[in-house]
Homo-oligomer: A and B are copies of this chain.
C-alpha cells in the first residue's frame, strides 16, 4: 500500500506504548541480553539498546532529515546530516529501562506534534533529499521508513528476546521462525 500520512502516524503513535507494555518491569535477563557476536564479529544489540537507538533516531534522524528536505529551495536536493548508528547506546547502558522508555515516548510525542504542524500535502511529500548511501529519496519515503523502522526494531526485539530461550524450548526450536531468523543484517 502507498504511504499515507494518517496510516504512518497511526503506527508511529503506537510504538512507545507497545514497547512499554512489552519491556517495562521485565527481568533484566530479557532486556539486557543480546544475540552475542554478529555475523560480522561486532557486538549485537539487546532490547534495551534498541530503545536507546530509537531515542537517538528521534533526535538525529527522522525530523532533522525531514527538515533538510523541507528547507531546501528552488528544487535543490540537500544531503542529510550525518547519523551515528551506535549513537548514545554504550553510554546509556547504566540507565534503568523505565527511564529510556519514558524518554522515547516523550520524544516521539514531541516529534509527531511537530510533524502535524507542518501540514504536509502531496507537494511537500514529493520533495527530495540525498541519503549518503541511497541517493535521492522523497519525504514520503522518509515518512514510510520512519514507521517501517519501528516495525523493523519490534521484529528485532522479539528475535533478541526469543534467542534467550533457544535452548530452553528444547525440540520446539525448529518450529519457530524467530529462533532461526538471523536478522538479515538489521
Binding site for B on A (CB under 8 A): 1-3, 6-7, 10-11, 14-15, 17-18, 20-23, 25-27, 29-30, 33, 131, 134-135, 137-138, 140-141, 144-145, 147-149, 151-152, 154-156, 158-159, 161-162, 164-165, 167-172, 175-181, 183-186
Contact = CB atoms under 8 A, between A and B. Distances in A.
B11 A29 contact: no
Q: Most chain-B CB neighbours within 10 Å: which of A144, A162, A165?
A: A165
A107 B170 CA distance: 26
Contacts of A172: 134, 137, 141, 144-145, 148
Given A140-B168, A178-B152, A22 B14 contact: yes
Given A22-B18, A141-B171, A168-B2, A178 B155 contact: yes
Nearest to A172: B145
A177 B10 CA distance: 22
8 contacts: A7-B27, A7-B29, A11-B161, A134-B175, A145-B169, A147-B165, A155-B158, A181-B184
Nearest to A22: B18
Q: How many copies does the complex hold?
A: 2
A164 B1 contact: yes
A165 B14 contact: no
Contacts of A134: 171-172, 175
B169 A141 contact: yes
Contacts of A23: 14
A6 B18 contact: no
A33 B154 CA distance: 18
A14 B149 CA distance: 22
